[in-house]
Chain A
Amino acid sequence: MNALIARLVAKRLGIMLISLLVVAFAVFFATELLPGDVAQILLGQAATPEAVAGLRKSMHLDQPAFLRFLYWLGGLLTGDLGRSYANNREVADLIAGRLANSLELAFVTTLFSVPIALTLGITAAMFRGSTYDRLVLVFTVSVISIPEFMVATLAVMIFAVYLKWLPALSVASDVEGLGELLRIYAMPVITLSFVVSAQMIRMTRAAVIDTLDTAYVEMALLKGASRRRIVLRHALPNALGPIVNAMALSLSYLLGGVIIVETIFNYPGVAKLMVDAVSTRDLPLIQSCAMIFCVSYLLLILIADLVAIMANPRLRNQ
């Protein structure tokens, strides 16, 4: 690790912190500046003006919006996410279990889609211009340009309605044994894998093709190396950085997909929690869920950036 890399990494971290602050600002003000008095809504029609005033004071509602933003930010940093408006439970408790479920789903999907996407992306780049490459390209473009819920409905149509292999809805309440678990995860994972791997294949293919276009690959070709050797020995090691970068970036597509997939399959994760919170206008819950999504999104992008910096050999020995 030399000074140049350290400086680039520090700059990236700085940019991420600024983005995070802007995101927090946007989330807070998008939700706080709505018409209606929260205290009044919470206490209902019959509340006395004194009670409303008391609650306003205890919730800091009588203070300027910017101060409330600082209180809220401080709460987030210390793990105090506030209380849900809908059932008065701690938001942190509500989210904890759900977050584990969502992460599980994301993890299993990653485990599935990364190897498949890598193989398809690299082989498509190897046989660029062939019928195989065209097929992969058509597949990825179609999956990217149809909505996630269509992938989900098609998956249900094929696997649950026509083939009758899997249940259409997954309720992860009582799981007994591995077979049950697989059946429950199958549908959401298949859908998400499709969405994510389409992005991944496209970006991996582009990354490998970029390295295949370099002078040293041409050199290897001229000295008579086989196509296999050119790709696996010469191009791939150099494409690793861009590929990992591409993977981290495509994993950020999980976030959009997860919202749709958890809703359609009734999967008890954070995204479902957030969509439900939106319909009941449960603001503290929405804010916290939104921040979780933004943080994970920014983290993935940060990882992608850092990998790109680390993988650049020109920065390594200077």
Chain B
Amino acid sequence: MTTTASARKGRFGWHMNAVGIIGAAIILFWMVVAIAAPWISPYPVGQIVDFDYYGPMSAQFWLGTDYLGRDMLSRVLMGARYTVGISLAAVAIACFVGVTLGMIAAVVGGWFDAILSRFLDALNSLPSLMFGLVVVAAVGSSMTVLVLTIAVLYAPGSYRFARALAVNVNAMDFVTVARARGEGTIYTIREEIFPNIIGPVLADFGLRFVFIVLLLSGLSFLGLGVQPPNADWGALVRENIGGLSFGAPAVIMPSIAIASLTISVNMLIDNLPRRIRDRSE
């Protein structure tokens, strides 16, 4: 296993095709925007800069203005913060919890595995948008609630995925050898299982990120996600939905921002470097 992996590394390395690179570049772009938004927005986010509402695209306001006459470009740039930030936090928690539990379940096995799998399968059968609605109705919406709710909704899927992979690796000879050497559970998980499932887990991380971005946007679009005066991309569409009937750029631009992010993640995952992809087959 290790020898074939290193031999392949020499031949294929990290080479990625053009589609994958474009995807990666767009993702990187939004990450930078999310961090640097306050410094690169041309106007303050909340300031009304134009008396004309739903203004068209112009040299002064690149993406037009929204329903109050605020600069749309600044709002989309700031929105990246919430969309990317919340989604990234949620997916990180979901995957960390899911993958850790999945590996433990695969290695420990027995009743621990059986009970955990049953419970998480049941949790997995909750329609996510619907359950998000219920939680927000009960405890109200805040960043923490959003991140935790979404993480809880997506951890079971990640668990199932990681467990299935880890069960296969767990049956391999080098794990048996490690056990025979007398290595403990934690060592086996950290040194033997995890390095061998990291590729597919990363791809799964990306896909889950896409689902979470869509769920968060959906919640915000329904007015239950990020609350005013802050606005992520979904909330921006909601705010400006009144401009839909005359095709204002304020409605379309945030949608395009979401689509650009999610489609590039898909592009990147489908064209991951050989070295990662081979492990996920």
Contacts and interface: CB of A to CB of B under 8 A. Distances in A.
Contacts of B135: 30
Interface in B55-86: none
A23 B128 contact: no
A30 B130 contact: no
A3 interface: no
Contacts of B139: 34
B131 A26 contact: yes
A281 B129 CA distance: 17
A277 interface: yes
A69 interface: no
A68 to B, nearest CB: 15
B126 interface: yes
A147 B214 contact: yes
B134 A30 contact: yes
B247 interface: yes
Contacts of A162: 247
A86 interface: no
B118 interface: yes
A18 interface: yes
B27 to A, nearest CB: 13
By size class, the interface of chain A is 35 or more
B137 A281 contact: yes
B246 interface: yes
B19 to A, nearest CB: 11
Interface residues of B, number: 43
Contact of B133 (A146, A259, A264): A259
Nearest to A264: B241
Contacts of B121: 15, 19
A301 B127 CA distance: 11
The main secondary structure of chain B at its interface with chain A is helix
B125 A150 contact: no
A20 to B, nearest CB: 9
Contacts of A142: 259, 263
A114 interface: no
A275 B223 CA distance: 9
Nearest to B137: A278
Interface string A271-296: 00011011101010011001001100
A110 interface: no
A294 B263 contact: no
A145 B244 contact: no
B134 A286 contact: yes
Contacts of A147: 214, 217-218, 221, 234, 255, 258
A260 B127 contact: no
A275 B122 contact: no
B125 A297 contact: yes
Contact of A150 (B118, B136, B245, B258): B258
A268 B137 CA distance: 20
A36 B262 CA distance: 39
Contacts of B210: 145
B126 A26 contact: yes
A149 B122 contact: no
A31 B127 contact: no
B127 A255 contact: yes
Nearest to A146: B259
B203 interface: no
Interface string B182-222: 00000000000000000000000000001000100110011
Interface in A215-245: none
B146 interface: no
A264 B245 CA distance: 13
Interface in B106-140: 118-119, 121-123, 125-131, 133-139
A27 B130 CA distance: 10
B137 A286 contact: yes
Given A141-B263, A142-B259, A153-B244, A256 B128 contact: yes
Contact of B218 (A18, A149, A279): A149
Given A22-B119, A34-B139, A260-B218, A157 B247 contact: yes
Contacts of A260: 129, 218, 221-222
Contacts of A286: 133-134, 137
A168 B245 contact: yes
Interface of A: 15, 18-19, 22-23, 26-27, 30-34, 141-142, 145-150, 153-154, 156-157, 160-162, 168, 252, 255-256, 259-260, 263-264, 274-275, 277-279, 281, 283, 286-287, 290, 293-294, 297-298, 301
25 contacts: A15-B121, A23-B125, A23-B126, A26-B131, A30-B135, A30-B138, A145-B214, A145-B259, A147-B218, A147-B255, A149-B218, A150-B255, A153-B255, A154-B255, A252-B127, A259-B133, A260-B129, A264-B241, A278-B136, A278-B224, A286-B134, A290-B130, A293-B127, A294-B125, A294-B127
Report the 6 A-B pairs with minimum CB-CB distance, sorted nearest first. Answer: A22-B122, A145-B262, A278-B137, A150-B255, A19-B122, A146-B259
Given A145-B262, A260-B222, A286-B134, 12 more contacts: A30-B131, A31-B134, A32-B138, A141-B263, A149-B221, A150-B259, A153-B244, A255-B127, A256-B127, A275-B222, A290-B133, A290-B134
